[in-house]
Every structure is written in C-alpha cells, then in structure tokens.
Structure 1
Amino acid sequence: MWYWLFKFVFMGPLLTLLGRPKVEGLENVPASGAVILASNHLAVADSFYLPLVVSRRITFLAKAEYFTGTGLKGWFTRWFYTVAGQVPIDRTDADSAQSALTTAQRILGQGKLLGMYPEGTRSPDGRLYKGKTGLARLALETQVPVIPVAMIGTDVVNPPGSKMWKFGRVTVKFGAPMDFSRFEGLAGNRFIERAVIDEVMYELMSLSGQEYVDLYAADIKEGKGEAAVKPPTRLPEAAAG
C-alpha cells in the first residue's frame, strides 16, 4: 500500500512537476513475468523516476547501509526504503555477493520486475562506467530477459552531492528486451559473463548517449584509478553481439 501511496500521492506529483518525465519504449516492458531492468545510474532520483513511469512495481537491490542506521533517522530511512520496494544486500565480500544473487533469484522466481544498476554505484561524472558481472550471471542463471534502461536528466533534477532538487526534464528510455539464451549453461564462465555485461553496457551507451569509460566507477570514487588516464571510449561493435 505504501509503495503506491508514495508513487501516486506523496511523491509522484512532485516528481512529475520537477522532472516532467518523458518516456520512450515503455511498450518493451511486459505486463507480467520476471524481467531484469538494467539501468545506468546518475543520481538517487533514478530509483524514484523509474518506478514512477512503470505501471508494475519494481524491486531494487539496495546497499545494506540504508537499512542499518540508528535513531529516528535510521528508522525512517529503513522504513522508507522498505516500503519503496528496496531489498537490502551486503556487497562486502564473495559470500555476500552470492547471498545478493540468491535474493535476486528469489525475486525473479516470483515473477517480479527487478531493477539493477550494473555499474554498481552512481557515476562520479555523468559518464557510463564498466559494468559488473553480477547482473550477467543472474541473467544467465535465471534465463529471464534483460531490458536496458537509460535515465537522462536525473542528475540535473537531483544534482549529486546536493540536497536541493531543481526543475529539469527527465527522459527514461527502455530498450528492446535482450535474450541471452544462446549462453544457456555457461553461467560462471567469466569470459561469457563479461561478454554479456559488455553487451548490456553497449545498449545503455547507445540509449543514453553517454561516453563510456572502461573502468569501474567505484574505483574512481575510491581513488584507485583516474578516468583521465584512459580517455572515454566506445565499446567495440563486437561487444554488441
């Protein structure tokens, strides 16, 4: 109940006023059945505008830190993310990653829409970064379609690092469903998983118009690499299939 109240009453009208969302390709999202929505990630607002424009409820995998706060603020944050359809996952080590994969499989097994950000974190500068292979393994193990989703303009409405929201224009583009059944039985093969996630990132790049950086966004944020060292590049055509 709370999910729909936030969508249609408490937050939806304000989000619509601020971002005037424009939607393209919504017909690619099926009316029922399990699907992975693979989105680029520019701002916190991505997790609000994507559910706003899709009639079905979307479940996101969210970092566990959102659910572990203390005091009144921690309680409210935990409650809000729970009713908003977020499921906590721990991403600290290999065991945690497997637990997250199991959780995602359970959600898809229930025929739900699962929202994922293959970059693993928000882009530090608006460019598109290297995808992590967890989404690829999930797609290969469950054999559900992957729909690429490009969020455009959310970082204008909700500038990263700022508590202030602004008026802007948000565009949400849904690509055609991607079928990886040709790789059935090859989950766990790191070369196949890399090929699959690169194909997804290629579609996201094409939909969003972002420049691609062949580095992990998390490494840039942690100072383990510099995007300037390796100029933005486009994924090779071969990566698209």
Structure 2
Amino acid sequence: MELVGGIAVGLKRLFGRVELDGFENLPVSGPAIVAVNHTTIADVPVVLGAFHRAGLHPSVPCEGMGCGSEHGHVRFLASSLVFRSRMIGPLARHAGMIEIGWRWSGPAALRSAREALARGEIVGIYPEGDVSATDDGSPRRFRFGVGRLALDSGAPVIPVAHHDARVIGSGSTARSLGGALTAVVRRPTVRLRAGRPIRPEEFAGCSIREVVDMVQDRVTEVWRSLATTSGGPDGPGAVRPPRRTNPAL
C-alpha cells in the first residue's frame, strides 16, 4: 500500500463514515482528468482515501503487476502552501503531486500536468482552486486550468463530488483540525460520488470557457444528486466501493 493512500484511508476511517457511489466510473489507466469539488481541507483525506480503496492510488505509477488494469494511480495538482508544510509537504512529494503556486507559476504546473497526461497518467484537480466554500457547499466558479488541460490533452474528464466534508471540519486550518478531532467522536457521514465521464468528443471544438462551464455543470450535477438524497446506495455507513476491472472511458 502506498504511504499517502494508506494514511488517507486511515484518516477517512477515523473521521467518520463515507458512502461511495459511481466509483466504477473512475479509470485505472489514462490519460484522464478527475475533477473534484473542494469545500475544506478536511475533504482531501476523504477523497484520497476513497480513491485508494477504489483502486486509484494517490501516487506516481508503480508500473508493477496489475498497474493500469487492476489498479491505477492519480497525481493531484496541489498548492505551494501544501508543499511548504513541514508535515504535509513530504507526503505531497511522495504522492507525486504537481505543485501549483501563484499566478506566474500556473503555466509551469499546467505544463507538468499535460506532460503527465501525455504519458498516459491520470491527473486530479480541484477546479475551484481554494476552500472558500459557499453557504450550501455547492461548487463555486471553476478556474480555467481544467478546461486548458482537457483541450490540450484530449483526455476525458470524470466529475466527482462530495456532500459535504465540512461536517468533519471547515474554515481555517486550525478550525478544520479542531473539527476533525471531534469528528472521531461524532462519526459524521460524507457522501462521495463519481459521475459518468465527459468524453473528448463532447468538448471538441469548444472554447476554453465552454469546456470549463461544461465540467462545472457536470460536477454540480453530481453534487446536486447527493444534496437531494438521504444516503448512498449501500446504506448508512457504507465504505466499500464496488470491485471492478478497468472501465471503458
């Protein structure tokens, strides 16, 4: 088990319950882009842990037995603030995350992500860019990076949404960590769902703004499907994603 995936799985179990749905839509081979909504730093272990359990490990490709068929790997774009953290920075590097900093470093990060996609890898992105969540947790306006990556690579985009990791902790880093500590006792439930892929032919010939809006609409659609239901298909507290082979994108 990769280090970061194992830690994320442990934290996910510690913080509460996670209900998973639609994870057969996640690929185990690329190129592919996974776009996830972002409301709190507390959603990171939930997302990474759920992906790992579903066979999409947060790390660079291992090229070992079953890599790309029985399991896959995803490399997320992450803020420079993550890399500067003494605690989290080494884990981000170990997971092969792609650093994205201030405005002038954005093109370099996108170039690294495009190169990863060109090698047939899977790239994860939080298109909102930060965690200044709306009151109801609905996805905020997406930035252009996800559209640029989709157009440049011609890779499918898999929309993923959770509702709502803020029950674990939200706000500042200190408040989020404080909430996470109480979550060990409260045992809140977070619902996470992967929607059907947006195929390259759906955005062929579109402008970058149109692609970004398309991805936002699909992530929001997945989020809304969770916000208007009372639970996942496996019942309260479900934590096991379906076992599956590599789905066709």
Does the TM-score normalized on the shorter chain lie above 0.5? yes
RMSD: 2.1
Compare 122-131 and 132-141 and name the one that shifted more: 122-131
Select 2:216's aligned residue among 201, 214, 238: 201
- Runs of 4+ aligned structure 1 residues displaced above 4 Å come to none
**Cα distance change on mapping 1:59 and 1:106 into 2, 3 Å:** same
Select 1:7's aligned residue among 5, 26, 41: 5
Aligned partners of 1:141, 1:202: CA distance in 2, in Å?
A: 20
Per-residue CA deviation, residues 36-87 of structure 1 (Å, 9 max, x unaligned), is 111110111222222212212221111123323xxxxx44332122224422
Q: Tell me which residue corresponds to 1:56.
A: 56
Q: TM-score, normalised by structure 2?
A: 0.71
Q: Tell me which residue corresponds to 2:116.
A: 107
Question: Percentage identity across aligned positions?
Answer: 30
SS at match of 2:40: coil
SS at match of 1:76: coil
Deviation of the 1:111 alpha carbon: 2.2
Aligned partners of 1:53, 1:60: CA distance in 2, in Å?
A: 14
> Which structure is higher in RCO with an 8 Å CA cutoff and minimum separation 6?
2
SS at match of 2:123: strand
Per-residue CA deviation, residues 151-182 of structure 1 (Å, 9 max, x unaligned), is 11211112222122123111111000001335
Q: Say if 2:110 and 2:149, in contact at 8 Å, map to a contact too.
A: yes
Q: Say if 2:8 and 2:48, in contact at 8 Å, map to a contact too.
A: no
Q: Which runs of 5+ in 1 are unaligned?
A: 69-73, 211-241
Q: Tell me which residue corresponds to 1:121.
A: 130
Compare 123-132 and 195-204 and name the one that shifted more: 123-132
Q: Say if 2:16 and 2:189, in contact at 8 Å, map to a contact too.
A: yes
Q: TM-score, normalised by structure 1?
A: 0.73
Q: Say if 1:91 and 1:100, in contact at 8 Å, map to a contact too.
A: no
Q: Say if 2:9 and 2:48, in contact at 8 Å, map to a contact too.
A: no
Q: Say if 1:153 and 1:168, in contact at 8 Å, map to a contact too.
A: no
Deviation of the 1:6 alpha carbon: 4.0
Q: Say if 2:8 and 2:49, in contact at 8 Å, map to a contact too.
A: no
Q: Tell me which residue corresponds to 1:223.
A: none
Deviation of the 1:132 alpha carbon: 1.1
**Cα distance change on mapping 1:49 and 1:85 into 2, 3 Å:** farther
Aligned partners of 2:22, 2:221: CA distance in 1, in Å?
A: 14
**Cα distance change on mapping 1:112 and 1:156 into 2, 3 Å:** same
Aligned partners of 1:6, 1:101: CA distance in 2, in Å?
A: 23
Q: Which runs of 5+ in 2 are unaligned?
A: 58-73, 226-249
**Cα distance change on mapping 1:34 and 1:7 into 2, 3 Å:** same
Q: Say if 2:77 and 2:125, in contact at 8 Å, map to a contact too.
A: yes
